Amino acid sequence: MQHHAPPQDTSDNGQDSPRDAHLLDALVTAAFIVMAAITRIGAEHDLSLSLMRVLGILWDRRLRMTDLADYLGLEKQTMSGLIARAEKRGLVARAPSREDRRATDVHLTESGALLVAELRRQGQTALRPVIAGLGPEDRRHLADLLQAMIAGRAG
């Protein structure tokens, strides 16, 4: 496989520079690889991509139904149906919010937490070949860059 150097950054007119275009193309390709792995693992467990996202978000927190719907960009009715299906499978439960008893929180059940742990393990196994060619320092650097990207998005 040939490796090409990224194009030089020659643009400053508000459009993506060739270097940024190269980075964005690589980011999209990486996203496709990750999504293919997640979709395959979800299908093996009869989980939709939306439900996989819900379970992943709830991995380390409880959220109000409205906050979860907003985070996922889903309508309240769609979110309610998704949560009802997950409840039926014993993966999540609803409870009164700790901050506002009028609101409802969603959280993982023990069964849901065990499934998410397994999904994470399978995801890491599936994606390990993607980073196999990177040395330890490159891996740390990539993790730091991805965390910075995620933090910038949350702001």
Q: What is the CATH number of the domain that holds 93?
A: 1.10.10.10
Q: What is the pLDDT of residue 1?
A: 40
Residue 147 lies in a domain: no
Q: Domain for residue 87, yes or no? A: yes
Structure confidence at residue 98 (pLDDT) = 84
Whole-model pTM over 0.85: no
Residue at 73 is within a domain: yes
Is residue 138, in this structure, part of any structural domain at all?
A: no
pLDDT at 135 over 90: yes
Average pLDDT in the chain: 88
H/E segment holding residue 141: helix 136-154
Q: How far apart are CA 110 and CA 121, in angstroms?
A: 17
Q: pLDDT tens across 65-101, in order?
A: 989 999 899 998 999 999 999 999 999 999 998 888 8
The answer to whether residue 56 sits within a structural domain is yes
In this predicted structure, the answer to whether residue 112 has a pLDDT above a threshold of 90 is yes
Residue 104 inside a domain? The answer is yes
Q: For residue 109, what are its two tokens?
A: 């059940």
CA proximity to 32, closest of 116, 122, 127: 127
Residue 151 falls inside a structural domain: no
The half-sphere exposure of 49 on its side-chain side, counting CA atoms within 13 A, is 9
Domain that holds residue 64: 18-125
Q: At residue 43, does pLDDT exceed 80?
A: yes
Give per-residue pLDDT as tens, 17-36: 888 899 999 999 999 999 99
Q: How many domains does the chain fold into? A: 1
pLDDT at 2: 40
Tokens of 30: 């990486």
Residue 62 lies in a domain: yes
